[in-house]
Homo-oligomer: A and B are copies of this chain.
Amino acid sequence: MHESPPRPSAGELEILRVLWSRGPSTVREVWQELSATRGTGYTTVLKLMQIMAQKGLVQRDETQRAHQYEAAISDEDTQRGFVVDLLDRVFMGSAQRLLLRALETKQGRTEELDEIRALLDEYEKGKQE
């Protein structure tokens, strides 16, 4: 057990984000959403999604001609994977330092601080049960 969550590549992550927000989708649908911002070709997205299916990052339903793809890993787990990696490769495991740097990049938004305090309270409370 204790399999550490996968850290999909940049391209894979973009596709996963579409699948997380859209739910099960065809390659074309993903491609359309992606090509709004990035200018990648259709077959590029296709190939990537095929590889992702092989890796187990997405699950594929082939009953229709246009296959349906669905994320096979959750956004939460994926986020955790990236944070864990960053935490010990860059921050030596210190969540404080991580937070400190995160705050520095968001100067000007003071409300965020209060929201974070609220988050801490809630998190602490949830832990007691």
Residues of A61-86 whose CB lies within 8 A of B: 76, 78-80, 82-84, 86
Contact, CB under 8 Å: B90 / A13: yes
A55 at interface, CB cutoff 8 A: no
State how many copies of this chain the complex holds: 2
Contacts of A107 in B (CB 8 A): 127
A115 at interface, CB cutoff 8 A: yes
With A86-B86, A99-B119, A113-B123 given, name 11 new contacts (CB 8 A). A79-B91, A80-B104, A80-B105, A95-B99, A95-B103, A98-B99, A99-B102, A110-B124, A113-B120, A113-B124, A117-B117
Identify 28 residue pairs between A and B in the complex whose beta-carbon atoms are under 8 Å apart, listed by A's number.
A10-B89, A79-B90, A79-B91, A79-B97, A80-B101, A80-B105, A82-B86, A83-B86, A83-B102, A86-B86, A87-B102, A87-B105, A93-B106, A95-B102, A95-B103, A95-B106, A95-B112, A96-B116, A96-B119, A98-B98, A99-B99, A100-B119, A100-B123, A103-B123, A113-B123, A113-B124, A116-B120, A117-B117
